[in-house]
Structure 1
Amino acid sequence: MTKTPVLALLSVISLPAFALVPPDYHEPANNFRAEIEAGFQLNTGNTDSSSFNGRTKLIYDTTKATQEGTIKGYYAANDEGTTAERYDLQYQANYKLTKGYVYGRGDFVWDQFGSYTNIYTVSSGYGFDAISTGRTKLSLEVGPGYRYNLPIDTEDDPNPDAEKDVILRTAAKFEQKIHEYTTFNADLTAEIGENNNTVTLDIGYKNTLFQDWAFKIGVNMKYTEIVPEGSEQTDTITTFNLLYTFQ
């Protein structure tokens, strides 16, 4: 058997493969990412208890904009009943410019046992990456906003009036990739208003266990300058979670 018939046969077999998958074919970009985590929780401050928590984070990133939404839930109970119940909803949309981005953001908190049971904050402004390398990223944001706070009921004030405040929001978001499997995050946010001021520090340490699974330690600390009588100014939530990432 000569080589010519063999080469002809191979070329005929390979033609359908080239027809189905062109040589310049590339997989479509995946702009969507999601994180789901759950685990153990310790509360100190206005609430002292231990229980479970959950968090879901969705990110959609394109060349023109980035949208990020986060839902958090905290629940704890003891023999006497529920001791902590809180739900957080956060959404931010960044519209990219040649340098930096403009953003719109909403933060909504329902906290049955917190110093403020309902906290609604909307803000907008400008942000930019002060540092952006392969391992380190630091983003800074500043802009005006509006905050609605409903204090918890007390014996002295069983029907408190809501606080409504125009605020200035500043934020620093830091991310450090320590090595291939470990990442450290720290977000610091300050809201300055005429009636009240708050500072929130959110720290996370994530270590990949295998493939898309990771172990995460998180600490959320919030300081509120003016709180209802009998409440503490600082609330701290510490979480130990197992995290799964969809990409």
Structure 2
Amino acid sequence: MLKTVFIVFGLLCSPAAFALVPPDYQEPPSDLTAEIEAGFQLNTGNTESSSFNGRTKLVYDTTQTRQEGTVKAYFAADNEKTTAEKYDLQLQSNYKISGGYFFGRGDFTWDQFGSYTRISTVSGGYGFDAVSTSKTNLSLEIGPGYRYNLPIATDDAPIPEANKDLILRTAAKFEMKLQEYTSLNADLTAETGEDNNTLTLDMSYKNTLFQDWAFKIGVNVKYTEVVPEGSKQTDTITTFNLLYTFQ
């Protein structure tokens, strides 16, 4: 019996056994990528407080299509009450063609303390990579859409009436790898409508700490031209998060 154990152990430790799984073996790349992050946030604008936030992003990228979904949650409270509660859902589907892609997109926001408590935007159009290198990528998108805005209740309008508007959406998505372990992302989106215009800048700086863990600083600035009385036109959210990537 003891002799048999030594024989099996010797076979497992032989070079032929190690050749089955090379030391530098890596799993083949997956079409699915997921990011989960959470951390501290600082709000200024219509809400001023500090608390925690979370974000989950899923991307399924193949040779023909790209599906992307992002969920964001923001929550803050002081000693007396909740001061911020906001949820964002972003969905986009791209169909790739030679030289670019066609896309369909939906943006949905529930913001209890924002100038608009419900925002729904559905759009579609065409996008392409204006710059595409190993370190830098710039994508441009344009297309028509439809936007639904429900203003926050005020003393003058306790039961607000929703605004419904046809819009033209334009977007620029910029990604740059600064160094081996650092990267910069910036998305600029403009929605132009007959009744209202918005401009949103979403920037983030990511520094990989080790393997799939990274530290991320994010800034989201949104300007709304027409807001209810007593609301500010600009909302800013600054986040400091720990991010984990599944690949």
Question: What is the TM-score with the length of structure 1 in the denominator?
Answer: 0.90
Local SS of the residue matching 1:41 = strand
Question: For structure 1, which runs of at least 5 residues remain unmatched after alignment?
Answer: 1-9
1:89-168 paired onto structure 2 within 5 Å: 89-168=89-168
1:1-247 paired onto structure 2 within 5 Å: 28-247=28-247
CA-to-aligned-CA distance 1:205-231 (integer Å, 9 cap, x gap):
000000000000000000000000000
Partners in 1 of 2:121 and 2:41 — Cα distance? 25
Partners in 1 of 2:116 and 2:50 — Cα distance? 20
Partners in 2 of 1:130 and 1:98 — Cα distance? 13
Give aligned-pair identity as a percent: 74
Partners in 2 of 1:139 and 1:230 — Cα distance? 37
Local SS of the residue matching 1:157 = coil
- CA distance 1:138–1:17, change in 2 (3 Å): same
- CA distance 1:27–1:240, change in 2 (3 Å): closer
Tell me which amino acid in the other structure corresponds to 1:231: S
Tell me which amino acid in the other structure corresponds to 2:68: E
CA-to-aligned-CA distance 1:1-40 (integer Å, 9 cap, x gap):
xxxxxxxxx9xx999999x99xxxx965410000000000
- CA distance 1:154–1:62, change in 2 (3 Å): same
1:99: Cα distance to partner? Answer: 1.0
Structure number with greater Rg is: 1
RMSD: 1.9
Partner of 1:5: none
Partners in 2 of 1:15 and 1:74 — Cα distance? 54
Question: For structure 2, which runs of at least 5 residues remain unmatched after alignment?
Answer: 1-10
Partners in 2 of 1:17 and 1:41 — Cα distance? 48
Q: What number of residue pairs does the alignment pair up? A: 231
Runs of 4+ in 1 over 2 A off after TM superposition: 13-18, 26-29
Partners in 2 of 1:202 and 1:33 — Cα distance? 20
Partners in 1 of 2:164 and 2:179 — Cα distance? 44
Question: What is the TM-score with the length of structure 2 in the denominator?
Answer: 0.90
Partners in 1 of 2:132 and 2:215 — Cα distance? 25
